[in-house]
Amino acid sequence: MKALLLAGGLGTRLRPLTENMAKPMALVGNRPWLEHLVTHLKRQGIHDFVIAVKHYPEMIQQYFGDGQAWGVSIEYAVEKTLLGTAGAIKNAERLLGDRFLVVNADIIHEASLIPLLEFHMQHKGAVTIGLTEVEDPSQYGVVEQTWSGEIVRFVEKPDKSQAPSRLINAGIYVMDKEVLKWIPQGREVSIERETFPLLIEQGVGVYGKTIDGYWMDMGTKTRYRQVHWDLLDRTLSLPFAQKEQNKGIWIGEETVVGQGVLFVPPVLIGDRVRIGERSVIGPYAVIGDDCELGKNVRCQETIMWHGCKVHDAAQLKNCIFGYGLELGASHILHEAVMNRMAGGSQA
């Protein structure tokens, strides 16, 4: 079975981090989330991928190529205009088999797909939507189902007291190719507002099944931070390339740690990092590869992408740094989100 990964999201709410990159390429634990997703699906037996790309497609294509380095096969469906979720699936039609998996590539999850696939085979409908339960459904499109799991309607952003359930679309679908005939070609089409209601109306069989495991939409800076804190706490158990030196302290290869450095777990330190003496790192710090931190640096609740440089006695708390940023000596930053390429910061 092929998996279609929808990687065309612009990531507006994550700017300036996503100013010059596709949103699914944002780092999660020092690796692009899209790479985590490919390897997660490979572990579940999926080896053939189609990646739907729109914004900065060359970044994804150059990084993954044909997928051979990951032991998988990757093809690409390029959107020339914005097509929406359903339009992106339609655009990839020629590359898909009779039954395929669709995954929204900017949702962080560790769902097991086998129960979803088994349920799809049992109910014999044309679509199975992976569902996840949320505490407050008023910010989402909520599903109403029959006892058999068939979805009868979507209720968009209902009042909490009037919501038919707390189950929402998790952005993971099993689809039979026949449903693509209901999606118009060459224009923007919303899968939740147009396609799924139409398929329900036509009686083709749209079912939903709750997925297990971690699920988080990383679309805001707050949730992006939370993904990393969950990762460090191992609530989200994505594998680290770095080795755990002490409990909650992961340090990469060729990293040089100065005398008197204190690591306050949990922390994740990448490869080839240099940390000056008497610095205090953590709790909740993720430092990317090839970063350089000076002496007496204080860094906590902060995510730093590859190639950053922080000079002596700087203090960082609850910050996110994009690639290659440099911070001067004795600077103090709190809740800054910065990207060198974008040239700006946001709290």
Domain ranges in the chain are 2-217, 240-346
33 Cα distance to chain centroid: 5
Q: Is 116 exposed, middle or buried (0-12, 13-18, 19+ CB in 10 A)?
A: buried
Q: CATH classification of 2-217, choosing from 3.40.190.10, 3.20.20.70, 3.90.550.10, 3.30.590.10? A: 3.90.550.10
Q: DSSP alpha helices (H): ranges in 92-209? A: 114-123, 196-202
Report d(CA 345, CA 337) in Å as an integer. Answer: 5
Phi and psi at residue 90, in whole multiples of 5°? -60, -40
Give the pair of three-digit tokens for residue 178. 């026949």
Task: Enter the tokens of residue 200.
Answer: 């329900």
φ/ψ of 194, rounded to 5, equals -115, -60
CA distance 155 to 164: 8
User: What's at 192, amino acid-wise?
Assistant: E
What is d(CA 304, CA 314) in angstroms, rounded to the nearest whole number? 14
- The neighbour count for residue 152, using CB atoms within 10 Å, is 11
How far apart (Å, rounded) are the C-alpha atoms in residues 153 and 142? 8
- Cα distance between residue 284 and residue 261, in whole Å: 16
The pLDDT tens digits for 266-324 are 999 999 999 999 999 999 999 999 999 999 999 999 999 999 999 999 999 999 999 99
What stretch of H or E contains 40? helix 33-43
Q: What is the largest CA-CA distance in the chain?
A: 69
Q: Which two tokens stand for residue 67?
A: 């997928």
Beta bridge partners of 208: 129
Assign domain 240-346 one CATH number from 1.20.1070.10, 1.10.10.1400, 3.40.50.300, 2.160.10.10. Answer: 2.160.10.10
End-to-end CA gap in the chain:
43
One digit per residue, the tens of pLDDT, for the chain of length 347 reads 899 999 977 656 667 777 778 889 999 999 999 999 999 999 999 999 999 998 888 899 999 999 999 999 999 999 888 888 899 999 999 999 999 999 999 899 998 999 999 999 999 899 999 999 888 877 777 889 999 999 998 887 777 777 788 898 899 999 999 999 999 988 889 898 899 999 999 999 999 999 988 999 887 889 999 999 999 999 999 999 889 998 999 999 999 999 999 999 999 999 999 999 999 999 999 999 999 999 999 999 999 999 999 999 999 999 999 999 999 999 999 988 888 654 333 33
The whole-number pLDDT of residue 343 equals 38
Q: Alpha carbon of 43 to those of 39, 54, 93, 132: distances in Å?
A: 6, 27, 25, 21
Which helix (H) or strand (E) covers residue 256, if one does? Answer: strand 256-257
In Å, how far from its chain's centre is CA 228? 11
Instruction: At 236, list the tokens.
Output: 């989200």
Amino acid at 184: P
Q: What gap in Å lies between CA 47 and CA 40, rounded to an integer? A: 11
pTM, two decimal places: 0.91
CA distance 180 to 100: 12
